[in-house]
Amino acid sequence: MSVPPIVPDANKATKAPTMKTDSPKGDNHPKSQTSRRVEPSAHFRAKARIKSHDEYLRLYNESLESPETFWKSQTRDLVFRTPSRKFLEWDSPHAKFFVGATLNITESCLDRHLATEARNRAAIVWEGEPGDVRTLTYLELHHEVVKLTAALADLGVAAGDRVAIYMGMVPEAAIAMLACARLGAPHSVIFGGFSADALRDRINDCEAKVLITQDGAYRRGAIVPLKKMADAALLETPSVQHAVVLSRIGRSGSEVSPAEMKPGRDIWWHELLSREPSLANKEMADAPNAFDAEHPLFILYTSGSTGKPKGVLHTTAGYLAGVHVSTNAVFDIRDSDLYWCTADVGWVTGHSYIVYGPMSVGASCMMYEGAPNFPDPGRFWQIIERHGVTILYTAPTAIRAFIRWGDEFPKRHNLGSLRLLGSVGEPINPEVWQWYHRVIGASQCPVVDTWWQTETGSIMLTTLPAASGSKPGSTGLPMFGVEPDVVDADGRSVKAGEGGRLIIKHPWPSMARTLWGDDERFRQTYFNVVPNVYFTGDGAKRDEDGYYWVTGRIDDVLNIAGHRIGTAEVESAFVSHPAIAEAAAVGRPDELKGSALVVFVTLKQGAAPSGQLRDELKAHIEKEIGKFARPDEIRFAEGLPKTRSGKIMRRLLKEIAAGATAMKGDTSTLEDFSVVAQLQAAQEP
């Protein structure tokens, strides 16, 4: 069978109208640059699973023409209890994949490896920031997950109940996720960089029954007091009955654990696991239940265009299929590899490419707790040398920081074990790509740039490392089963080389199923720009060779140092401060972070601009959202430029933030011109 097109005529447009001014410019990549390809070495190619562009094309075409056959053969290693009756049911915007199948996802990620050589292979090689190392084999990981599954069930967690996870980068974060999945309890991991308020809001939105956290996490030599922040959040989370607390600080250091335990609510992880579980729960954990293919696996909050974060819901079988197939194709992991994705488990990259994808293929995964520049900027390279990492998957913002810190740090270490490099999270500019390729990969390792999103679940655009050759700065070609397009404001395909909106025309197995508790917002956000077609929120162009060049967000979402931040979220946090009347958040190009966060504010009567207020506002954002959302610049203004209908003119503010002196574009709809001059003059004191 084949996937029914969402809009059969979306691709039929022949004449491309000119782009509207708010769309991304497609002219920032000159032709000479878009045609240059870097081909993998013959040596790399010889050992790869997918060895040529033709082989990629054959599989890609099969994935579109006979998806059922394609996905069946590519997921044959996965464990299903009941096979599916049907590949897809699509009732826009709702997709069901592998209809009728039942499975327990952890059997694919853990149990199946116990019958193979993977049994005693390292599943996780973990290094703490202080330098402590722990290795968990698949057998040991399975054992820990089974124990926690039974213990959570004893605490009253049942299939369908939500569990919040607020942890740092410790193996137990992966154990907690897998135990929830084994139990059928959707997890919601909240990044450890979020503040107590942000944690509280996310817990309340998904009404989590249990919170799993830790006393503290090591970061840049200091301790992030996770339990203390969790305690503040838990003052206002009526759904939470228990907090399970891992002792990370208390155990590894000589210090006394800083966490205060609330009797009846809080329990130490190690104490919980030392209890003998009930027989029924022990049996359930050993031989877990199978769940429907569409059983909710996790909710992951991400930023959108309103102040309220979106709870992206992923379900079981389609998500597993997506991350499994892409992990095999993109990273081509072998038994001898040590694969390292440097993302945090609190973001989707950590879910898909630290936990579910790699474990579904039995990979050995490196995991590191701390900062890349602790105790010095050579830490990543030291880890690669120490453990023999072979595949590195990291973000452009990190690579740019490495470039700034200087080549001497990577040069001090033997990086000869590396054979493949990956990039994710934001566009990687060609110069940064070249540095990564040359300095980290010794010009020997293919670099795969992977474009995808929290909502897509798995990698959507990339060049398979031995198949098609990379074009530095381009995110490459569509992954299996993915049919993207670039369209204008009316939903018509634009010509090669022209900029437009990046859409995906057909449903794919790992796509988000809805937004938790807000299905209407799901439809409005993603399936409305072009009716019934998935809109990514990104601008892109496609070149003559079919390679995609993603230019960045064209909605109200910013990408600051690889972190996704909603402008509305920042603005509503600002106006919750008593001194602020109005706020407008925009991005400004930044060499290191990609975008820096600039916020224009007007003050209420009685408040006056000052350095002190500016510091206070930065601290306020840190409390409302988290440290990573601290604005780089706050600019006080007497009024914000608005259209006659009252819309803030963001495009103008962006130009002002970027330091433009003469206004580009049309300003005739400005309500008050004097405001523009005033804003340009409003500099940091």
Which residues lie near ligand WT7 (CB under 6 A)? 302, 347-349, 424-427, 449-454, 475, 536-538, 550, 552-553, 559, 564
Kindly tell me the sign of the dihedral angle through the C-alpha atoms of 364, 369, 372, 374.
negative
End-to-end CA distance of the chain: 65
Of 468, 446, 347, the C-alpha closest to 50 is 468
Q: Which is nearer to ligand WT7, 453 or 532 (CB)?
A: 453
Structural tokens at position 678: 């005033």
Q: 259-268: long-range contacts at Cβ-Cβ below 8 A with a sequence spacing of 24 or more?
A: 259/215, 259/216, 259/227, 259/228, 260/227, 260/231, 262/231, 265/234, 265/240, 265/241, 266/242, 267/155, 267/242, 267/243, 268/244
Output the six-digit token pair for 82.
Answer: 């009941």
Q: Are strands 296-302 and 310-315 parallel, antiparallel or unpaired?
A: antiparallel
Q: Which is nearer to ligand WT7, 218 or 331 (CB)?
A: 331
Nearer to ligand WT7, 191 or 291 (CB): 191
Indicate the residue among 135 and 453 with the shorter CB distance to ligand WT7.
Answer: 453
- DSSP tally for the chain: helices H, then strands E: 24, 32
State the nearest-atom distance from the C-beta of 247 to ligand WT7, in Å.
Answer: 31
Do 448 and 466 contact (CB within 8 A), yes or no?
no
Task: State the nearest-atom distance from the C-beta of 429 to ligand WT7, in Å.
Answer: 10
Of the pair 258, 552, the CB lying nearest ligand WT7 is at 552
User: What is the smallest separation between the CB atom of 191 and ligand WT7, expressed in angstroms?
Assistant: 10
For residue 373, give Cα distances in angstroms to 125, 377, 402, 593, 598. Answer: 20, 4, 9, 16, 26
Q: How far apart are CA 85 and CA 101, in angstroms?
A: 7
Least gap, CB of 64 to ligand WT7 (angstroms) = 22
Kindly tell me which of 231 and 449 has the beta carbon lying closer to ligand WT7: 449
Count the alpha carbons within 13 Å of 584 in the hemisphere toward its beta carbon: 22
Minimum CB–partner distance for residue 528 and ligand WT7 (Å): 17
- 30 burial (CB, 10 Å; 0-12 / 13-18 / 19+) is exposed
CB closer to ligand WT7, 348 vs 637: 348
Q: How far is the CB of 145 from ligand WT7 (least distance, A)?
A: 25
Tell the smallest beta-carbon distance from residue 450 to ligand WT7 (Å). Answer: 5
In the complex, the smallest distance separating the C-beta of residue 476 from ligand WT7, rounded to whole angstroms, is 9
In the complex with ligand WT7, the residue whose CB is nearer, 163 or 330, is: 330
Tell the burial category of 89 from Cβ atoms under 10 Å away from its Cβ (0-12, 13-18, 19+).
Answer: middle
User: Which residue(s) pair with 501 in the sheet?
Assistant: 487, 539
Phi-psi region of 119 (alpha: psi -120 to 50; beta: other; left: phi over 0): alpha
Question: 589 in helix, strand or coil?
Answer: strand
Q: How many CB atoms lie within 10 A of CB 266?
A: 19
Tell me whether residue 327 or residue 349 sits nearer to ligand WT7 (CB atom). Answer: 349
Q: Indicate the residue among 216 and 562 with the shorter CB distance to ligand WT7.
A: 562
Residue 342 or 536: the one with the smaller Cβ distance to ligand WT7 is 536
Buried b (16+ CB within 10 A) or exposed e, 513-532: bbbbeeeebbbebbbebbeb
In the bound complex, what is the minimum distance in angstroms from residue 399's beta carbon to ligand WT7? 12
Smallest distance from ligand WT7 to CB 437, Å:
15
Q: Where are the alpha helices (DSSP H) in 48-166?
A: 53-65, 67-74, 105-109, 138-154
DSSP class of residue 120? G
Q: Based on the number of CB atoms within 10 Å of its own CB, is 661 exposed (0-12), middle (13-18) or buried (19 or more)?
A: exposed
CA distance 246 to 148: 12
Cα 319 from Cα 644, distance rounded (Å): 45
| Closest CB 464 distance from ligand WT7, rounded Å | 15
Q: Which is closer to ligand WT7, CB of 348 or CB of 477?
A: 348
CB 312, CB 302: distance < 8 Å: yes
CB nearer ligand WT7, residue 449 or residue 485: 449
- Least distance (Å) from ligand WT7 to the CB of residue 536? 6
Residue 401: CA atoms inside 13 Å, Cβ hemisphere, count? 16
CB of 176 to ligand WT7, least distance (A): 21
